[in-house]
Structure 1
Amino acid sequence: MRRLARLAVGLGKFVAGTVLAILVFLTGAFFQVRGALPPYSGHIEAAGLKAPVEILRDKNAVPHIIAGSIEDAAFGLGYVHAQDRFWQMEMLRRLGQGRLAELLPPRLIGSSIVDTDRTMRGLGLYRRATESLNALSPGMRGTIEAYAAGVNAWIGDDDQQFGLELTLIKLLSGGSYKPEPWRAADSLVWAKLMALSLDGNWRAELLRLRLSRKIGADTVKFLIEPVGDNQDATLSMANEALKRTDLDRLYRETDNIATRKREASNEWVLSGTHSVSEKPLLANDPHLGLGFPGTWYLARLVGPGFDIRGATSPGSPAVVLGHNGTIGWGFTTTNLDSQDLFIERVDPTDPNRYITPDGPRPFAVREETINVRWGEPITMRVRETRHGPVIDDFIQRTGNDDLTPQGHVLALQATALDGADTSAEGFGRLGLAQNWEDFQAAARRIVSPMQNMVYADTAGNVGLIAPARVPIRRKGDGSMPVPGWTSEFDWAGFVPFDELPKVYNPPSGIIVNANARLVPDDYRHFISRDWADPYRQRRANEMLREVERHPVYGMIVMQADNRTLDADDMLPVLLKGTPRNARAAKAHAMLKSWNRFMLASRPEPLIYTAWIWELQRGIMADELGAELFQSMASPDVPLLLRIIRDKPGWCDDGGTRQVETCEDAIALALDRALAWISRRQGPDIETWQWGIEHDAAHRHPMFDGIPLLRDIASVRFPSDGGGQTLNRAQPSYRGSRPFEAIHGAGYRGVYDFSDLDNSRFAMPLGQSGNMLSPWARNFVQRWQSLSYIEIAGSRAEVNRSAVGTITLAPPTR
Structure 2
Amino acid sequence: MGIVFRWLVRITTGLILLALAAVALVYFLASQSLPDYDQTVEVSGASAPVEIIRDTANVPHILAENDPDVFFGLGYAHAQDRLWQMTVMRRTAQGRLSEIFGARTVHIDKLLRRLDLYGLAHRSVDAQDDYTKAALRAYAAGVNARLDEINEAALGRGAPEMFLFNAPVSPWQPGDSIAVIKLMGLQLSGHLEDEVLRARTSLMLNDPARLTDILPNVPGAGIAALPEYAALFPGLPRYARGTPMPDTPLSPFPKRGLAGASNAWTAAPSRSASGGTLLANDPHLGFTAPGVWYLARLELAKGGVIGATIPGVPAVMTGRSDRLGWGLTSSYLDDQDLHIERLNPENPEEYLTPDGFKKFRTRPSIIEIKDEAPITLTLRWTENGPVLPGSHYNLETITPPGHIASLSWTALSPRDTSMTASLALMNADNVREAIDVGELFISPSQNLSLVDKDTIGLKLIGAMPKRDLRNQSRGRIPTPGWLAENLWQGRLPYADNPEFVAPAGGILGNTNNKIIDRPFPLHVSYEWGDTQRVHRWERLMQSREVHTRDSFIEAQLDTVSFTARSLLPLIGADLWFTGASAPEGTPERQRQIALSLLAEWNGEMNEHLPEPLIYAAWLRALQIRLISDELGPLAAEYKHVEPLFIERVYRDIDGASVWCDVRQSAPSETCTDMARLALDDALIWIAENYGTALQSLRWGDAHQATHDHPVLGNVPVLRFFVNIRQSTSGGDNTLLRGRTTGEGRDPFQNVHGAGYRGVYDFADPDSSVFITATGQSGHFLSRYYDDQAQLWRRGEYIPMSLDLDLARAAAVGVTNLIPR
TM-score, structure 1 length as denominator?
0.92
**CA offsets, 1:389-428, max 9 Å, x none?**
110276699xxx9xx9951111101001111111111112
Offset, 1:303:
3.5
Q: For residue 632 of structure 1, what is the aligned residue in structure 2?
A: 638
- Aligned to 1:762, which of 759, 771, 774? 771
- Aligned to 1:685, which of 694, 709, 733? 694
d(CA) in 1 for partners of 2:278 and 2:570? 38
Q: What SS does structure 1 have at the residue aligned with 2:389?
A: helix
- Aligned to 1:464, which of 455, 458, 461? 458
d(CA) in 1 for partners of 2:518 and 2:537? 21
* 1:196 maps onto 2:195 in alignment: no
d(CA) in 1 for partners of 2:11 and 2:111? 42
Q: For residue 243 of structure 2, what is the aligned residue in structure 1?
A: 249
Q: For residue 184 of structure 1, what is the aligned residue in structure 2?
A: 174
Q: What SS does structure 2 have at the residue aligned with 1:302?
A: strand
* 1:448 maps onto 2:443 in alignment: yes
Q: For residue 417 of structure 2, what is the aligned residue in structure 1?
A: 422
Offset, 1:436:
2.5
d(CA) in 2 for partners of 1:45 and 1:665? 71
Residue 223 to residue 798, structure 1, CA distance change in 2 (3 Å)? same
The residue identity in structure 1 corresponding to 2:806 is E
Offset, 1:352:
1.1
Q: For residue 305 of structure 2, what is the aligned residue in structure 1?
A: 308
Residue 396 to residue 720, structure 1, CA distance change in 2 (3 Å)? closer
d(CA) in 1 for partners of 2:423 and 2:162? 30
d(CA) in 1 for partners of 2:571 and 2:451? 43
Q: What SS does structure 2 have at the residue aligned with 1:650?
A: helix
Offset, 1:291:
0.8
Q: For residue 404 of structure 2, what is the aligned residue in structure 1?
A: 409
Q: For residue 585 of structure 2, what is the aligned residue in structure 1?
A: none
d(CA) in 2 for partners of 1:259 and 1:543? 31
* 1:599 maps onto 2:606 in alignment: yes
Residue 24 to residue 576, structure 1, CA distance change in 2 (3 Å)? farther
Offset, 1:506:
0.9
Contact 1:207–1:251 (8 Å) recurs in 2: no
Offset, 1:524:
6.8
Q: For residue 608 of structure 1, what is the aligned residue in structure 2?
A: 615
Residue 746 to residue 17, structure 1, CA distance change in 2 (3 Å)? farther
* 1:377 maps onto 2:374 in alignment: yes
d(CA) in 1 for partners of 2:12 and 2:670? 56
Offset, 1:368:
1.2
Offset, 1:758:
1.0
Contact 2:390–2:404 (8 Å) recurs in 1: no
- Aligned to 1:730, which of 711, 733, 739? 739
Offset, 1:347:
1.2
Q: What SS does structure 2 have at the residue aligned with 1:205?
A: helix
Residue 39 to residue 729, structure 1, CA distance change in 2 (3 Å)? same
d(CA) in 2 for partners of 1:666 and 1:481? 35
The residue identity in structure 1 corresponding to 2:404 is V
Offset, 1:356:
1.0
- Aligned to 1:207, which of 177, 187, 197? 197
Residue 447 to residue 347, structure 1, CA distance change in 2 (3 Å)? same
Contact 1:250–1:392 (8 Å) recurs in 2: no
Q: For residue 335 of structure 2, what is the aligned residue in structure 1?
A: 338
* 1:589 maps onto 2:559 in alignment: no
Residue 18 to residue 372, structure 1, CA distance change in 2 (3 Å)? farther
Contact 1:33–1:771 (8 Å) recurs in 2: no
d(CA) in 1 for partners of 2:816 and 2:419? 28
Contact 1:385–1:411 (8 Å) recurs in 2: yes
Offset, 1:681:
2.3
**CA offsets, 1:488-538, max 9 Å, x none?**
211123221112100111111000110000103468712111112322112
Alignment of 1:96-245 (within 5 A): 96-107=93-104, 113-157=105-149, 158=151, 159-161=154-156, 162-170=158-166, 177-199=167-189, 201-216=191-206, 217-225=208-216, 228-238=223-233, 240=235
Residue 51 to residue 469, structure 1, CA distance change in 2 (3 Å)? same
Q: What SS does structure 2 have at the residue aligned with 1:248?
A: coil
Q: What SS does structure 1 have at the residue aligned with 2:490?
A: strand
**CA offsets, 1:426-446, max 9 Å, x none?**
112111101123212320100
The residue identity in structure 1 corresponding to 2:612 is P
Q: What SS does structure 1 have at the residue aligned with 2:253?
A: coil
Offset, 1:262:
1.2
Contact 1:299–1:310 (8 Å) recurs in 2: yes
Q: For residue 173 of structure 1, what is the aligned residue in structure 2?
A: none
Number of matched residues? 783
Residue 292 to residue 13, structure 1, CA distance change in 2 (3 Å)? farther
* 1:350 maps onto 2:356 in alignment: no
d(CA) in 1 for partners of 2:19 and 2:712? 14
Q: What SS does structure 2 have at the residue aligned with 1:471?
A: coil
Q: What SS does structure 2 have at the residue aligned with 1:389?
A: strand
Residue 130 to residue 606, structure 1, CA distance change in 2 (3 Å)? same
d(CA) in 2 for partners of 1:421 and 1:244? 40
Residue 114 to residue 129, structure 1, CA distance change in 2 (3 Å)? same
d(CA) in 2 for partners of 1:225 and 1:12? 70
Q: For residue 59 of structure 1, what is the aligned residue in structure 2?
A: 56
Contact 1:346–1:406 (8 Å) recurs in 2: no
Offset, 1:767:
0.3
Offset, 1:566:
0.5
Q: For residue 77 of structure 1, what is the aligned residue in structure 2?
A: 74
Q: For residue 576 of structure 1, what is the aligned residue in structure 2?
A: 573
Alignment of 1:496-645 (within 5 A): 496-521=493-518, 525-578=522-575, 581-626=588-633, 628-644=634-650, 645=652
The residue identity in structure 2 corresponding to 1:126 is Y
Contact 2:280–2:758 (8 Å) recurs in 1: yes
Q: For residue 174 of structure 1, what is the aligned residue in structure 2?
A: none
Q: Tell me, which stretches of 5 or more residues in structure 1 are unaligned?
A: 1-5, 108-112, 171-176
Q: For residue 36 of structure 1, what is the aligned residue in structure 2?
A: 33
Contact 1:351–1:405 (8 Å) recurs in 2: no
d(CA) in 1 for partners of 2:36 and 2:667? 70
Offset, 1:572:
0.7
Offset, 1:196:
2.2
Offset, 1:200:
5.2
Q: For residue 93 of structure 1, what is the aligned residue in structure 2?
A: 90
Contact 1:381–1:393 (8 Å) recurs in 2: no
TM-score, structure 2 length as denominator?
0.91
Q: For residue 583 of structure 2, what is the aligned residue in structure 1?
A: none
**CA offsets, 1:443-492, max 9 Å, x none?**
0100111111111112x111111122111211241010011112021112
Offset, 1:235:
4.1
The residue identity in structure 2 corresponding to 1:642 is R
Q: What SS does structure 1 have at the residue aligned with 2:601?
A: coil
**CA offsets, 1:237-279, max 9 Å, x none?**
2363x66997823767999433445132100000011111111
Q: For residue 582 of structure 2, what is the aligned residue in structure 1?
A: none
The residue identity in structure 2 corresponding to 1:408 is H
The residue identity in structure 2 corresponding to 1:670 is L
d(CA) in 1 for partners of 2:562 and 2:190? 27
d(CA) in 1 for partners of 2:800 and 2:393? 49
Residue 371 to residue 272, structure 1, CA distance change in 2 (3 Å)? same
- Aligned to 2:723, which of 714, 722, 739? 714
Contact 2:297–2:307 (8 Å) recurs in 1: yes
d(CA) in 1 for partners of 2:278 and 2:400? 59
* 1:495 maps onto 2:487 in alignment: no
Most deviating of 327-336 and 654-663: 654-663
Residue 506 to residue 19, structure 1, CA distance change in 2 (3 Å)? farther
Q: What SS does structure 1 have at the residue aligned with 2:753?
A: strand
